[in-house]
Amino acid sequence: MKELVIISGKGGTGKTSIVASFAALADKCVVADADVDAADLHLVLEPTIVHREDFSGGSRARIMPQQCTACGKCEEICRFDAITYDGPGNGKVDKTYRIDPIACEGCGVCAYFCAEKAIEFAPVVNGQLFVSETRCGPMVHAKLGIAEENSGKLVSLVRTRAKAIAQERGIDWVLIDGSPGIGCPVISSITGADHVLIVTEPTLSGLHDLERVSDLTRHFGIETQVCVNKWDLNGDLTSEIEAQARQRGMRVAGRVRYDQAVTKAQIHAQAIVEHECEAADDVRDLWSNIRAIGDKHKHGIRL
Ligand code: SF4
Ligand code: SF4
C-alpha cells in the first residue's frame, strides 16, 4: 500500500481538484479528505455516506451552578481565562462562576481542584467522521463542529481509517487531501506518509510557502514532489520554484496549466480529468509520473 498526501502552503492552490483527479485516474484507491477544517473534496466526489460516527477530541469543563459556592478557586487557577464570575445564583450565593466553552482548553485543572466537586469534566463531541462510497472508490472524510479544535487528532483518525479500508480491501493507493499550511493539522496529515506532493502556484507567496512546507517534509524525512499549478501565469516564477525545489532535494513531478475549463469542471462536480481540457492532459502526466515513482518505491528503488 502507498500513501500519497497532497498538501499546499495555503488553501486555494487547486490541491483538492488535483486529488479528485488522481482518485479518478487510479484504478483502485481509497481517498481521504484530511483537510477537516475546510473539507471540500465531497463537493466533487459526491460521496454516499455508509457509516458515520461521532468524534471526540477531548473533554471540556462545565460548572454545575447548584453546587458552586463561588469560592473563586477555579477562576484563579485557569490559565486560559475561561472562567468568569457571572453564573446564576443558587439560593446560597447571589452569583456563581461560569465557564466559557469556547475559551476552555479542556485541561481539567479546575475540576481537579474544585473542593465542592461542582465542575463536570466530560468528553465532548467535536465533529463527525464518515466512511462513504464514491464513483472513484471508498472515501473517508470528516466534519469538525463550528469553532472546534483538535483537528490534528481528527486528521490522524481519517488517515488511519482510510489505510485500514485499503488493507481490508487489498487496495494499493491511499490518496490524502492534506491540510494546508504548516500547523498541527498538516503535521498530522503527513507524519509517517510514504510520499508528499506539494501543490503550489507561481507567485512569490507560493515560493515562500514551498520553502516552509518543504522544511516540514524534510524534517520528517518524507519523499517529496512538487507540482506548480497554473504554471503559465508566470513562467519565470515557475522555473524559480522548480529550481528551488530541486535544490532542496525534491522532485518536480509536473506542471498544470491555467485552464478556465477547470472552473467549469468544478461547477459540474467533476474532477479535471473527467472534463476534456488541456489541463486534464497535464494532470494525467502528473499522475503517471507520481505513480511511476510509487511503483519504484514498492520495488525498493530509491530515487
Ligand atoms: S472552584 Fe468550584 S466551588 Fe469554587 S467557584 Fe469554582 S466551581 Fe465554584
Ligand atoms: S478545563 Fe482548564 S481551560 Fe477549561 S475552564 Fe478548567 S482550567 Fe480552564
Question: DSSP of the chain, one letter per residue?
Answer: -EEEEEE-SSS-SSHHHHHHHHHHHSSSEEEEE--GGG--HHHHH-PEEEEEEEE--EEEEEE-GGG-----HHHHH-TT--EEEEEPP-SSSS-EEEE-TTT-----HHHHH-TT--EEEEEE--EEEEEEEETTEEEEEEEEPTT---HHHHHHHHHHHHHHHHHHHT--EEEEEPPSSSSHHHHHHHTT-SEEEEEE-SSHHHHHHHHHHHHHHHHTT-EEEEEEETGGG-HHHHHHHHHHHHHTT-EEEEEE---THHHHHHHTT--GGGS-SHHHHHHHHHHHHHHHHHHHHHTT---
Give me the pLDDT at residue 163, please.
95
Quickly state the pLDDT bin for 150 (edges 50, 70, 90).
low
Closest atom of ligand 2 to CA, residue 83? 5
Q: Which residue among 60, 79, 109, 150 is best mutated to probe the pocket of ligand 2, counting the most ligand atoms within 8 A of its Cβ?
A: 109
Strand 96-99 with 83-87, pairing: antiparallel
Quickly state the pLDDT bin for 297 (edges 50, 70, 90).
low
- pLDDT tens readout for residues 36-82: 877 888 888 999 999 999 998 889 999 999 999 999 999 999 999 99
Give me the pLDDT at residue 301, please.
47
Least confident of 40-54, 137-151, 168-182, 185-199: 137-151
pLDDT over 70 at 177, yes or no: yes
The alpha carbon of 296 and the centre of ligand 1 are apart by a number of angstroms equal to: 62
Least confident of 37-46, 60-69, 163-172, 248-257: 37-46
Quickly state the pLDDT bin for 194 (edges 50, 70, 90).
confident
- pLDDT tens readout for residues 78-107: 999 999 999 999 999 999 999 999 899 999
Closest atom of ligand 2 to CA, residue 74? 7
Q: Which residue's CA is the closest to the ligand 2 atom numbered 6?
A: 110
Q: Which residues contact 114 (CB under 8 A, 6 or more apart)?
A: 73, 74
Give me the pLDDT at residue 296, please.
66
Mean pLDDT of 11-16: 82
